[in-house]
Amino acid sequence: MATPFSRAIVIVMDSVGIGELPDAAEYGDQGSNTIGNIARRVPLQVPTLRSLGLARVAAIGGAPAPAEPKAAVGRMAEASAGKDSVTGHWEMMGIVLDRPFPVFPNGFSAEVIAAFARQTGRGVLGNRAASGTEIIDALGPEHMRTGSLIVYTSADSVFQIAAHEDIVPVPELYRACEIAYALVGEGLGVGRVIARPFVGTPGHFTRTTNRRDYALPPAGETLLDRVKAAALPVVAIGKIEDLFAGRGITRAIHTKSDDDGMDWVEREMETVECGLIFTNLVDFDTQYGHRNDIEGYAKNLERFDARLSAILPRLREDDLLIVTADHGNDPTTPSTDHAREYVPLIVAGRHVRVGADLGTRRTFADLGQTLADVLGVGRLAHGTSFLTEITA
């Protein structure tokens, strides 16, 4: 169909969920409502998101939603099994998984750990489900004494390896991740191996920006594959390249922070003429959600709101902007893990029918199907396009 758009800008606020899904209890996530529960603790100053209509779908406190929001607004449910970033992003781009990636709440088998230690030539500490900052604080001193690698997992399908940059050089840590990827990614179907380098002294460890994710390649054709095959730009900002194992991407930019990510969005909007700019803002999740930092999460929402306000006036006539999330991570609950939640769907642009109610989408794949229509790359296997709902 004819479309007034030639460029799409998708911003994923990593973990900014807006309330538990009907099956949340199956995941132990009853009562999770990332943005709603934060707003009950901290008066959120998010005038831009409020003006776009976020209060229609999320309990953000303060004044009610404006009668005529400046965007089309809805929410999306995750159809895939699971609640991790890979699953969420894949589904946005057209892949719906019928079973979750395997998880290892009791750690990995002795055989896997022995093979990993043998192939890396280093011992292993940890091998349990844990918060990354906590296990680094607990085992960092012994790691520095012995040179053994800190291995841990979470409620997600991840094999994470932490090491001090002065003890294990970053290139060696990356090689260890490649070894782990062969063992647990290709071998067991684990969704991601993650390098977690850190620096500092006992009691004062901090993780660095040299994190790297080694993800399984997408289980089928994605929107990114289609857009790249159509010779259109696909610019991946943040951890997008990692989540898609580099597939379907024409330019990748890794970022140091959410502010850095938004800086790059602004830069790429100045130079990319058409196609897709796809951004993940991970600090919401890694810096605040996983650390149950309510105040920090609230301030990051406010910082993002200010950055978003600067982008809106710079949208071109043919731009489509979508702001969404990939799962929840409620910092007000005892858990430090992801939560099974609805995510917001905010769609803006000069040709978007403001105030359009997009309702509750049954799958994140509706986003990808809409973008397939927008960019003219053919139908994807999953999802229902809402293009006519936002342009009618």
Q: How far apart are the C-alpha atoms of 267 and 260, rounded to whole Å?
A: 11
Least confident piece of the model among 46-50, 97-101, 156-160:
97-101
Distance (Å, rounded) from C-alpha 34 to C-alpha 42? 12
What are the residue boundaries of the structural domains of the chain, listed by start? Answer: 7-101+217-391, 114-215
Mean pLDDT for 155-168 is: 95
Pairing mode, if any, of strands 149-153 and 158-164?
antiparallel
CA atoms within 13 A on the CB side of 15: 27
| pLDDT of 146 strictly over 70 | yes
Q: Which of 233, 160, 242 is nearest to 193 (CA)?
A: 160
Please say if the pLDDT value at position 392 is more than 70.
no
- Element spanning 374, H or E: helix 365-375
Rounded CA-CA distance 282/53 in Å is 23
Please, which residues have CB within 8 angstroms of residue 331's CB and are 6 or more apart in sequence? 34, 37, 38, 288, 289, 291, 292, 293, 294, 297
Q: 114-215 architecture in CATH?
A: 2-Layer Sandwich (3.30)
CA pair distance 74, 346, nearest whole angstrom:
7
Using CA atoms, how far apart are residues 271 and 258, in angstroms rounded to an integer?
20
pLDDT at 155 (0 to 100): 82
2 has a pLDDT exceeding 80 = no
What tokens were used for 157?
A: 């399908």
Q: What is the mean pLDDT of residues 89-110?
A: 94
Check residue 261 and give its pLDDT. 98
Distance between alpha carbon 180 and the CA centroid of its chain, in Å? 22
Cβ(58)–Cβ(19) below 8 Å: yes
What mean pLDDT comes out for the span 5-31? 97
Mean pLDDT, residues 116-130 taken together: 97
| Mean pLDDT computed over 68-92 | 95
Is there a contact between 198 and 140 (Cβ–Cβ < 8 Å)?
Answer: yes
**pLDDT level of residue 131 (50, 70, 90 thresholds):** confident
pLDDT at 1: 62
- Non-local (6+) Cβ contacts of 195 within 8 A are 161, 170, 173, 174, 176, 177, 210, 211, 212, 213, 214
Tell me the pLDDT band of 66, cut-offs 50, 70 and 90: confident
Confidence of residue 63 (pLDDT cuts 50, 70, 90): confident
Structure tokens at 246: 């580099």
Instruction: State mean pLDDT over 233-243.
Output: 96
Q: What is the reported pLDDT for 65?
A: 75
Give residue 271's pLDDT band: very low, low, confident or very high (50, 70, 90).
very high
pLDDT at 34 over 90: yes
> Which structure tokens are listed for 203?
């009691």
- Give me the mean pLDDT over the 199-222 stretch: 93
Q: Is the pLDDT reported for residue 361 higher than 80?
A: yes
Looking at residue 341, its pLDDT comes to 98
Mean of pLDDT values over 128-133 = 90
d(CA 8, CA 38): 30
Q: Please state which CATH number belongs to domain 7-101+217-391.
A: 3.40.720.10
CA distances from 351 to 55, 66, 222 (A): 22, 20, 26
The per-residue DSSP string of 114-136 comes to HHHHHHHTS-EEEEEE--HHHHH
What average pLDDT is seen over the chain?
Answer: 96
Q: At residue 243, does pLDDT exceed 80?
A: yes
Average pLDDT over residues 291-312: 97
User: Taking residues 76-103, what's their average pLDDT?
Assistant: 94
Q: Indicate whether 75 pLDDT > 70.
A: yes
Reported pTM: 0.91
In the predicted structure, residue 250 carries a pLDDT above the cut 80: yes
